[in-house]
A and B are shown apart, each in its own frame.
Chain A
Amino acid sequence: MLELRGVTAGYGHFTALWDVTLRVEAGEAVAVVGPNGSGKTTLMRVISGLVAARTGELVFEGNSLAGRKAHEVVRHGIAHVPEGRRIFPRLSVGDNLRMGAFQPRARQAFAESRARVYDLFPVLRERERQPAGSLSGGEQQMLALGRALMSRPKLILLDEPSMGLAPVLVLRLFELIRRVREEGYTILVVEQNVRQVLKLVDRAYLLEVGRIRMEGRAAALSEQDFVRKAYVGL
């Protein structure tokens, strides 16, 4: 479904990603794990078009994404839930969801998409008229997820969904992501919470200082001594 071949990207003179090759199949859940500053967020931003790749190929369902801006990429069916949620704090919950369906194809299916989002996250229906900034951290993450679903994506990019959430909420959030996955969405997730995320996904990549160091099935990866010691903390 999504394929990156030899992607290099960065900011100014700084190179954050070196020759990254990565693949996500339809229906899969894939994680990219790695320490702070390893280039995980840049990877997500390159896929969604917020950062342009310097070299390499990005192909989504047979279409090249190279040179596409963020507002064009979302039309291809890729929704990016950015790091730190980035909901619109002074817009109501309902308006946040409306904005999620901005592109024409999504706007036509607005009512249906919203009903689905409200079924997944009933608390959003209760808070529909409240400013999004007044929601708790966990609710804001649900809203960010729901807003992304409003664009009717095929692939969802999740950047550090557990960031800033209490441990109890992290477990609940992963449960919700699992449910989103069961709805048939393909997921590419970047996480610091390696132990939890490896339970969620099928495959994982290990990213270190901008390079892919390891790739494998999630279960196999969490068994490896190196990953266990460095990231899982066992």
Chain B
Amino acid sequence: MIDPIFLLEAAVNGILLSGVLALLALGLNLIFGVVDIVWIAYVDLVMVCMYLVYFLVMIYGWPLWLAGLASVALGALLGLGVHLLIITPILGSAPVNQLLATGGLLFFLQSFATFLWTTDHRTVRLALPILEVGGMFLSFVRLIAFAISLLAMIGLWVFLRRTYIGTAIRAVSQDREAMALMGADPQRVYLVTSAVGGAMAGVAGALLIIQYSVHPFFGAAFGPLTFMICVLGGLGNMVGAFVASVVMSEIISIGGVVISTEMGYVIAFVVFIVMMFVRPGGLLVRRG
């Protein structure tokens, strides 16, 4: 029998993991909800941002917070670039072409990263303590990453709820054509959305590099998980994505402690497949 303290520790770690995953899922969901295109290469953009933070901190000696801000800026620029160079030319074409194009970007980024930076795993080491709370051992780095993820999500929420352009972004995701009739240039709204979605990838990149090592195939490790969370939450549904990321992280984390790390992922994917049959519209099927 497993000591309940380990289960509790796993549950807390699951919550901490869910922060960054939710951030990724929200960024991807935001873009899908508005532009109606799934960026297959989304987590590979995160990978590029992770390399940026790595080089800025470990080679050029920038302070981590500054490198993090640079990562957010790079993410936003990458988002704009992806939209202008890859999405805009194929906006009206068949969905399969859009998948192929962003999928092609994924292979390009993987190969490009391998070519430039080899397949070495690189990490930003932080000399931060492990906290002991009531017999549980919690990583301070993960706590910080979780707190910043939450802040970024609250920031996104405020942006979408309180600002004019944020409200317009939500309006476009509900009725693109009606918003054009209000005088909003859809292309401009797409650009803002892609930049914001890219910036979320930048935040995630800065938070991931202090917890995991980066390598050219990082996207292959976190990408499927991110898509799974988006689909489980209901594509385009922000609250659903958040709930789904908590559910998935808990399964992975607790399953990993009770059985084995690999089995944690196996169970998570099985739950996903079963849920696709039970609730194909997502965990929280949106009303109206």
Contact = CB atoms under 8 A, between A and B. Distances in A.
Q: Do these two chains really belong together in a complex? A: yes
B184 interface: yes
A45 to B, nearest CB: 9
Q: How many residues of A sit at the interface, in one of the four size bands?
A: 20 to 34
A105 to B, nearest CB: 9
B92 interface: no
A50 B177 CA distance: 8
A100 B182 contact: yes
Contacts of B167: 91, 95, 98-99
Contacts of B177: 50, 70, 82, 86
A91 B184 contact: no
Interface stretch (B36-44, B149-157, B168-176): B168-176
A89 B174 contact: yes
Interface string A139-170: 00000000100010000000000000000000
Question: Which 7 pairs from chain A and chain B are nearest by CB?
Answer: A103-B183, A86-B178, A70-B180, A133-B288, A74-B183, A102-B182, A102-B183
Given A69-B180, A74-B183, A91-B170, A86 B175 contact: yes
A80 B168 CA distance: 18
A228 interface: no
Nearest to A133: B288
B278 to A, nearest CB: 25
Nearest to B177: A50
Interface in A104-127: 106-107
B183 A106 contact: yes
A100 B179 CA distance: 8
Contact of B182 (A90, A133, A134, A147): A147
Secondary structure class of chain B's binding surface, majority of residues: helix
Interface of B: 164, 167-168, 170-171, 174-175, 177-186, 288
Contacts of B182: 71, 74, 99-100, 102-103, 147, 151
A174 interface: no
Given A71-B183, A91-B174, A102 B288 contact: no
A79 B181 CA distance: 7
B181 A74 contact: yes
A8 interface: no
The main secondary structure of chain A at its interface with chain B is: mixed
A181 interface: no
Nearest to A157: B181
B180 A99 contact: no
Contacts of A54: none
A152 to B, nearest CB: 11
Nearest to B288: A133
A133 B288 CA distance: 7
Given A82-B177, A82-B178, A88 B171 contact: yes
Contacts of A88: 170-171, 174-175, 178-179
Given A89-B288, A90-B288, A133-B288, A50 B170 contact: no
A70 B164 CA distance: 20
A71 B178 CA distance: 10
A192 interface: no
A127 B167 CA distance: 18
B171 to A, nearest CB: 5
Most buried by A among B167, B170, B174, B182: B182
B205 to A, nearest CB: 30
A208 to B, nearest CB: 26
Contacts of A74: 181-183
A48 interface: yes
A74 B183 CA distance: 6
Given A74-B182, A91-B170, 5 more contacts: A50-B180, A70-B181, A71-B183, A88-B170, A99-B168
Nearest to B170: A91
Given A86-B175, A86-B178, A91-B174, A151 B183 contact: yes
A106 B181 CA distance: 13
B170 A90 contact: yes
A51 to B, nearest CB: 11
Contacts of B186: 71
A75 interface: yes
A89 B170 CA distance: 11
A131 B178 CA distance: 17
